[in-house]
């Protein structure tokens, strides 16, 4: 992971927690939630409060949860507003993160001067018993809590002071005066602090991905009126059956693509790749790098010149290690340079699954979920995997050869601005 960190592809804009007071504040939030504290004296957190070091320490990348139906977030610094969300529970967690900091920035600034703040995604479900439970979730509530109940204390203190000023002869009420004094001794003067964060509703969950059940894609609003569940890791025994109230597919069921076509969710129209030919080149080279891994000796592909690469390709062909799809990509990439010579009939059928993309007219959040699904369906494009499924990318990256890692980092740096063009 060192090369990813050096290239700012992992760990960029994480907040360092490196003093006893901040570590204590983070642990107080964990304790408040009912989670195990960390023994680390220094670590980093992302915008959601997730720490890669604590995840390693506890051996659980989803340690900020009581099961995947009950995720939590921790805010100990307003600087987390500019941090990414590295290990989301859902595809919409980044949107929730942006909403929280844009709407409650003043409250977060005030609360974190005195206390840690944590929140829960309340789905009104204690635990997922089956994937079908997700079809019944129409909205979520983001509930906020402060350590030592500081938010409640501020509300109570303001109520006491209001009573003192508004009620006749309140100055003679010994209990009222004592309650005000004790509140100020314990918490300080909270009258003018912005500590009130209301429950935040979130209902943009018609289409989303969840890490629950080893990865599940949920599409609730389709043209055929039947919701769709796509299993990324686990398997369903009724993949492709349509006689139920909803439809389920395993990710690599051959009939899934046809269903997505008919639902007008995906397309293989090549025009999107004419605007982004680099994506085709990435897939072509990925096929080549995968073939190189079949050689006995180490090959430094990224250091080769054009003619050395030609010699390598010829050798792979002679050894029967380079599949025909490489040459389909090569031909397609060449034809894209002259759009007048390219038509849909020129694209080989074996190439079409690699050219799948979300339909043009979909909303951005729908495209984001579909790009993630397609990057897992077609693993030949690590750039798309990084852009739309970072948690899986980081896991896969650690299994790759050093040469493949080096090449992927170079391609990510080359295409780091392509995200907004795809959604």
User: Is a pLDDT exceeding 80 seen at residue 171?
Assistant: no
Q: Give the mean pLDDT of 89-104.
A: 93
Closest to 287 in 3D by CA, of 311, 262, 323: 323
Confidence of residue 313 (pLDDT cuts 50, 70, 90): very high
Count the Cβ atoms, other than its own, within 10 Å of residue 339: 11
**Distance, CA of 139 to CA of 201 (rounded, Å):** 7
In 150-270, which residue ranges form alpha helices assigned H by DSSP? 150-166, 174-187, 256-262
Q: Is the pLDDT score of 331 beyond 80?
A: yes
90 secondary structure, DSSP code = B
Q: Tell me: pLDDT of 288 over 70.
A: yes
**Mean pLDDT of the region 363-388:** 93
Give the mean model confidence (pLDDT) for residues 255-277.
Answer: 89
Mean pLDDT of 384-393: 92
Residues 6+ positions from 301 with CB-CB distance below 8 Å: 288, 289, 292, 309, 312, 403, 407
Query: Rounded to whole angstroms, how far apart are CA atoms 329 and 281?
Result: 8
Question: For residue 115, how far is the Cα from the chain centroid?
Answer: 27
* Burial (Cβ within 10 Å: 0-12, 13-18, ≥19) of residue 14: buried
Cα separation, 349 vs 59, in Å, equals 43
Res 150: pLDDT: 66
Long-range contacts of 357-363 (CB under 8 A, 24+ apart): 357/266, 357/267, 357/268, 357/269, 357/272, 357/422, 358/265, 358/266, 358/267, 359/264, 359/265, 359/266, 359/267, 360/267, 360/269, 360/272, 362/265
Task: Name the E strands within 188-343.
Answer: 200-202, 207-210, 216-219, 228-231, 247-250, 266-267
Give me the pLDDT at residue 352, please: 87
Size (the chain), residues: 423
What integer pLDDT is reported at residue 339 of this predicted model? 63
pLDDT per position as a tens digit, 106-117: 889 988 988 889
β strands within 282-405, DSSP E: 357-358
Instruction: Please give the Cα distance from 211 to 316 (Å, whole number).
Output: 39
> What are 196's two structure tokens?
């009130």
* Over residues 42-67, mean pLDDT: 94
Q: What average pLDDT does the segment 330-341 reach?
A: 77
Average pLDDT in the 2-13 region?
Answer: 86
Between β-strands 266-267 and 247-250, what pairing exists: parallel, antiparallel or unpaired?
unpaired
**380 CB neighbour count, 10 Å cutoff:** 18
Give the confidence band of 90 by pLDDT, cuts at 50, 70, 90. Answer: very high
The DSSP line for 20-44 is HHHHHHHHHHHHHHT-PPP--SSEE
Strands (E), 211-260: 216-219, 228-231, 247-250
């Amino acid at each position: 992971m060192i090369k990813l960190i050096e290239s700012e592809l992992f760990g960029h804009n994480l907040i360092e927690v490196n003093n006893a007071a901040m570590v204590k504040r983070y642990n107080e939030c964990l304790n408040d939630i009912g989670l195990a504290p960390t023994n680390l004296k220094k670590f980093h957190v992302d915008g959601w409060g997730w720490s890669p070091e604590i995840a390693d320490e506890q051996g659980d990348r989803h340690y900020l949860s009581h099961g995947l139906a009950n995720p939590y977030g921790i805010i100990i610094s307003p600087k987390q507003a500019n941090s990414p969300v590295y290990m989301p529970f859902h595809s919409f967690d980044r949107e929730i993160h942006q909403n929280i900091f844009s709407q409650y920035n003043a409250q977060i600034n005030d609360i974190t001067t005195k206390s840690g703040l944590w929140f829960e995604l309340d789905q009104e479900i204690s635990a997922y018993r089956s994937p079908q439970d997700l079809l019944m979730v129409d909205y979520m509530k983001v509930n906020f809590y402060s350590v030592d109940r500081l938010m409640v204390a501020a509300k109570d203190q303001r109520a006491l002071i209001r009573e003192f000023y508004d009620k006749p002869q309140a100055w003679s009420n010994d209990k009222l005066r004592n309650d005000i004094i004790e509140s100020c001794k314990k918490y300080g003067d909270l009258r003018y602090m912005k500590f009130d964060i209301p429950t935040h509703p979130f209902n943009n969950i018609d289409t989303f991905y969840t890490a629950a059940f080893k990865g599940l894609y949920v599409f609730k609003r389709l043209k055929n009126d039947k919701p769709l569940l796509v299993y990324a890791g686990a398997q369903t025994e009724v993949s492709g059956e349509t006689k139920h109230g909803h439809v389920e597919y395993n990710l690599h069921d051959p009939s899934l693509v046809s269903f997505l076509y008919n639902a007008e969710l995906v397309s293989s129209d090549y025009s999107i790749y004419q605007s982004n030919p680099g994506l085709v080149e990435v897939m072509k080279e990925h096929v080549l790098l995968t073939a190189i891994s079949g050689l006995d000796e180490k090959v430094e592909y990224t250091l080769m010149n054009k003619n050395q690469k030609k010699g390598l390709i010829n050798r792979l062909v002679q050894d029967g290690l380079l599949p025909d799809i490489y040459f389909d990509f090569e031909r397609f990439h060449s034809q894209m340079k002259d759009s007048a010579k390219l038509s849909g009939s020129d694209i080989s059928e074996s190439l079409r699954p690699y050219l799948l993309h979300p339909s043009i007219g979909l909303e951005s959040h729908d495209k984001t979920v579909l790009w993630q699904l397609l990057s897992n369906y077609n693993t030949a494009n690590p750039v798309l995997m990084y852009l739309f499924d970072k948690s899986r990318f980081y896991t896969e990256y650690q299994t790759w050869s050093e040469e493949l890692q080096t090449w992927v980092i170079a391609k990510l740096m080359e295409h780091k601005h392509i995200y907004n063009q795809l959604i």
